[in-house]
Amino acid sequence: MKIIDRYIAREFLLYFLISLSSFTALFLLVDILQRSMRDGFSNALLQFTLLQGPFIISQMVPIACLMASMFALSALAKNSELIAMHATGISIERISMILVAVAFFVGVGNFFLSDLIVPPTLKKAKYVYHVDVKKQGSFQIFKTNRIWYRAPNAIYNIDYFSPENQSVSGINIYLFDNTFKLTEKISAKMATFDGTHWTLHEGKATTFIEDFPLTLSFQVKEANYITEKPVDLKELSNLETLSFKELTEYINRNKRAGFDTVRHEVNLHAKISYAVACLIMAFLGIPFSTKSSRAGGLAMSFGTGLAIAFSYWMFLNMGLSLGYKGTLPPVVSAWIANLFFAGLGIYFIRFEQRMISIWPFWK
């Protein structure tokens, strides 16, 4: 790597770290202030906020790449270093390749961050918030093969939960008395929620009377002892606490069982597309930041970067929503934002090159 390559890469990484730390700190500060007003400040809340850090960082990395690209090139243009580079035969394409190459390695690092570090820390953060901050007596653990939920006098074991249909498939319920002695075990093929209470379908109920089990089959059985609502179970089924491999296995297993996995397939493809977004954002920042200092410099880059970031988030969420509803295939819904903004970057670069060829003083 030549000296000029290292210099450009160093400038990019400097602004990347500044942007990443600033956006992450700002988000966490606002979040802890809002939760403090609602739940009161405590050491548990501070621990929850710190545990959220890796997840927030992984979400802010593409935006930081965008800002780093724009700030680095704007600073070079402001100091007339771009002109000096052009004079020595270093084209904007060469500079762009350096930025995109660095963004590629940043994207790879972000993928492993979100795949190896985020799942356990985010799972721990959710536990700390519900148990230590909210002081909820029940707690939940989500594993790759099933959902375990513990209430004060019951433990639920759920194979699959569908937020859209407000139903669960493959449920086992263990009921206990106040001494935590098992009193009844209920297994059902399905449970549905009608807005007020749960109903079990096609199952068996085993009652333990003085340690003697009595088993009865049923087709339909009201489950008034399940006090949790679908919104509570939806908190459990947040699959962002799974790694890429775990989520893939989860999808394959539930596909074989005949369950709808569209939402989870969208999230699986989104894990990859969001890592690639680092390249897209770094590339997109190039045509908006190669003007001279008269074009607004760092202040203009910051404003433009925020507008692009907001537009990307809006477009990404719109695509994911269409994927969740089945309007778009999962792979398309996860990648449509990247494809659109990559095309936008190519268009603006070609537009600028065309304007320079027509009017050399365009810069």
CB-count burial class (<10 Å; 0-12, 13-18, 19+) for 91: exposed
- pLDDT digit string (tens) for 1-60? 578 888 889 999 999 999 999 999 999 999 999 998 888 888 989 999 999 999 999 999
Beta bridge partners of 157: 148, 172
What pLDDT shows up at residue 111?
94
What pLDDT shows up at residue 129?
83
- pLDDT over 90 percentage in the chain: 33
- pLDDT digit string (tens) for 230-245? 766 665 556 667 788 8
- pLDDT digit string (tens) for 169-182? 888 988 888 887 88
What pLDDT shows up at residue 146?
59
How large is the average pLDDT for residues 343-362? 63
Q: Coil, helix or strand for 157?
A: strand
What pLDDT shows up at residue 360?
44
What pLDDT shows up at residue 330?
93
C-alpha–C-alpha distance, residues 110 and 102, integer Å: 12
Single-letter code of the amino acid located at 198: W
CA distances from 215 to 107, 109, 189, 211 (A): 55, 54, 16, 13
- Residues in the chain, how many? 363
C-alpha–C-alpha distance, residues 74 and 286, integer Å: 9
- pLDDT category of residue 271 using cuts at 50, 70 and 90: very high
C-alpha–C-alpha distance, residues 178 and 347, integer Å: 68
Residue from 325, 148, 142 nearest 237 by CA: 142
- pLDDT category of residue 264 using cuts at 50, 70 and 90: confident
What pLDDT shows up at residue 344?
86
User: Whose structure tokens read 């000029």?
Assistant: 4
- pLDDT category of residue 200 using cuts at 50, 70 and 90: very high
Structural domains of the chain in order of their starting residue, each with its CATH number = 3-134+254-362 (no CATH), 145-233 (2.20.110)
Lowest pLDDT segment from 11-15, 154-158, 280-284, 313-317: 154-158
Tell me if 168 sits within 8 A of 190, measured CB to CB: yes
Torsion of CA 251, 256, 257, 258, to 10 degrees: 90
User: Whose structure tokens read 């594993």?
Assistant: 143
C-alpha–C-alpha distance, residues 333 and 327, integer Å: 9
CB atoms within 10 A of CB 160: 21
How large is the average pLDDT for residues 315-344? 92
pLDDT at 217 over 70: yes
CA distances from 15 to 242, 306, 327 (A): 31, 15, 39
- pLDDT over 70 percentage in the chain: 83
What pLDDT shows up at residue 141?
47
CB-count burial class (<10 Å; 0-12, 13-18, 19+) for 90: middle
- The structure's pTM equals 0.73
Single-letter code of the amino acid located at 96: S
Task: Quickly list H helices, 218-325.
Answer: 230-236, 244-256, 262-284, 297-324
pLDDT at 340 over 90: yes
C-alpha–C-alpha distance, residues 189 and 171, integer Å: 7
C-alpha–C-alpha distance, residues 286 and 67, integer Å: 10
And the tokens for 22? 């600033």
Torsion of CA 95, 316, 123, 43, to 10 degrees: 80
And the tokens for 192? 């549905």
What pLDDT shows up at residue 361?
42
What pLDDT shows up at residue 73?
83
- pLDDT digit string (tens) for 118-132? 988 988 888 788 778
